[in-house]
A = this chain, B = another copy of it.
Amino acid sequence: MISLQINRGSNLALYRQISEHVKTEISNGRLPANTQLPTVRALAKMLGVTRLTVQNAYSELRADGWVEATVGRGTFVSPSVQPYRLEPTVGQYLTPDNAINDMMQINQVVGVRSMAMARPDTTLFPVEPFWRSMEKIRFLDKDLFGYGSVQGDIQLRFEIVRLLEDWGLTAVSPDDLLITSGVMQGIALVIQVLAKSGEKIVIDEPSYIGVLSIIKAQGLNPIKIQIGHDGPNLDHLETIFKQEKPKIYYTIPNFHNPTGISFSLEKRKAILELANRYEVMIVEDDIYGRLAYDEEPLPSIKQFDTQSRVIYLNGFSKMLMPGIRVGFIVMVPTLKADLLALRRAFDLCGPPFLQRALAEFLRENGFKPHIRKIRPIYKERRDTLLQALQAEMPPSVRWTIPKGGFCNWVSMPRQFAPGELYRLALQRGFAFTPGEAYDINRPQEEHFRLCFGGLTSIGIQATIKQLAQLIRSGSQSSSWLPIV
């Protein structure tokens, strides 16, 4: 029989609390496929809530595919929930490519609580105001369904300039901007323009999985630098810049993916100085920059750039919603022609209709209220995660304290064979990103990334509790030792 508790002090609506608890029970296998749920009347009585509250919870579960309702028979856990069928798809996740693939697949499987993907919560997407923006431009111009400008919709570029001014980047003109298909395309374009096959690129260890895919696809030679709680070690970075003569340093100074840390102001300035001295281009990915939960983010490295040394990338996948596929590059003059030529050779242009709708959304000042709405929600999830880690994890486990973004990085002495903890988690109906996906060469340690953007506090608590149990049991039973 279903057992769940609701909390009237929470700022999560009662119906969401119910649906989240049911999801947790389904994903951990306590409510298997085809199990009958209590009637609306019975559950409402049991919990002391109105029937409408339970109806809303069941509606959401139906809409998300977790349960099915048959008139006259009742509500049942969907036969398609499949936490236990995931294992075969993750047999080979030890490359960045497979890891991304895996995350995106898990994302589409009903019945898994996923902390694997650094993505915003679907239920917080500003779909309604965005739809109103689409309706406003509906009769504007059929050309919005024709070929667009390679550089991207001019009105969108104007609106992004306004945003950038707000963020302290005051010297950008619409002509400096190239709209891309997500930040991912921005990174791919910039890296291909700056470095040829075999040339060197410095990346953080660990770094964004997507950039590992790009490096592999373009045949580049990655040089890794470990990062601490406030950025890379500067002496180490200087040695690399000096000895390896890399073309690029790609990094994420704000709410870093996957570690969640942020670079100190001093390190931002020092990195730029080193880049200027050794003539290394900095590719600054600021995709999480506006998702700050404690204080406003520090100035971007680009703000100090006087020598066109920094290429600044950002986009709307985390701040608004990834499905519109809009990122942008703040180009430097010397690379503009090459970047536009390469974008033409990649895919010509993006969908002008979505770009203009986003311009309209921004013009109507849809951005700030959305950020004001989502920040406290993600902040609460971040807080819940840190509290749960503190409460549940054994002392050997350490983690970062993210002040924004979606990522938290956990480290511990190795106690499972590579991938084993991940497999055990999937068997129990939840997921995270295993450290192996990041290609880290530290066999004595075990790492993983926990993304707290996509789950509510209820889901986060349940997940961390299970994860801690796995780790505690592993430290008692596991006989695996690394062979160094």
Contact = CB atoms under 8 A, between A and B. Distances in A.
Interface of A: 63, 97, 100-101, 104, 107-108, 117, 119, 122-123, 125, 127, 130-131, 134, 138, 141-150, 180-182, 184-185, 188, 192, 197, 210, 213-214, 216-218, 317, 321-325, 340-342, 344-354
Given A350-B181, A351-B354, A354-B354, A100 B146 contact: no
Contacts of A101: 150, 340, 344
11 contacts: A122-B146, A125-B146, A130-B145, A143-B323, A145-B321, A180-B347, A182-B347, A184-B347, A213-B341, A216-B341, A217-B346
Contacts of A344: 97, 100-101, 210, 213
A306 B108 CA distance: 34
Q: Which 3 A-B pairs have the closest CB atoms?
A: A145-B323, A217-B345, A185-B347
A195 to B, nearest CB: 13
A323 B146 contact: yes
- A125, A147, A181 interface centre (most CB from chain B within 10 Å): A147
Contacts of A349: 104, 325
How often does this chain occur in the complex, in copies?
Answer: 2
A393 B181 CA distance: 45
A123 B150 contact: no
A188 B100 contact: no
Nearest to A342: B217
A193 to B, nearest CB: 9
Contact of A127 (B97, B108, B117, B145): B145
A104 B149 contact: yes
Contact of A104 (B125, B147, B346, B354): B147
Contacts of A341: 97, 213, 216-217
B119 A324 contact: no
A125 to B, nearest CB: 5
Contacts of A100: 150, 344, 348
Given A104-B147, A125-B145, A143-B122, A325 B351 contact: yes
Contacts of A122: 142-143, 145-146
A323 B104 contact: no
A138 B346 CA distance: 30
Contacts of A119: 146-147
A347 B181 contact: yes
Contact of A345 (B127, B214, B353): B214
A322 B181 contact: no
A317 to B, nearest CB: 8
B345 A325 contact: no
A353 B323 contact: yes
Nearest to A216: B345
Contact of A346 (B146, B150, B185): B185
Contact of A150 (B104, B134, B324, B348): B104
Of A100, A146, A192, most B-chain CB atoms within 10 Å: A146
Given A104-B150, A134-B134, A323-B353, 13 more contacts: A101-B150, A119-B146, A122-B146, A125-B142, A127-B145, A145-B323, A146-B323, A323-B351, A323-B352, A325-B347, A325-B349, A325-B351, A347-B347
A136 B192 CA distance: 40
A117 B143 CA distance: 14
A127 B63 CA distance: 29
A216 B341 CA distance: 10
Contacts of A354: 351, 353-354
A89 B130 CA distance: 36
A107 B150 contact: no
A118 to B, nearest CB: 10
A173 B58 CA distance: 35
A348 B324 CA distance: 12
Nearest to A317: B147
Centre residue among A123, A149, A217 by max chain B CB count within 10 A:
A217
A145 B346 contact: no
A346 B188 contact: yes
Q: Which of A138, A321, A346 has the most CB of B within 10 A?
A: A346
A392 to B, nearest CB: 29
Given A346-B188, A346-B346, A347-B185, A117 B147 contact: yes
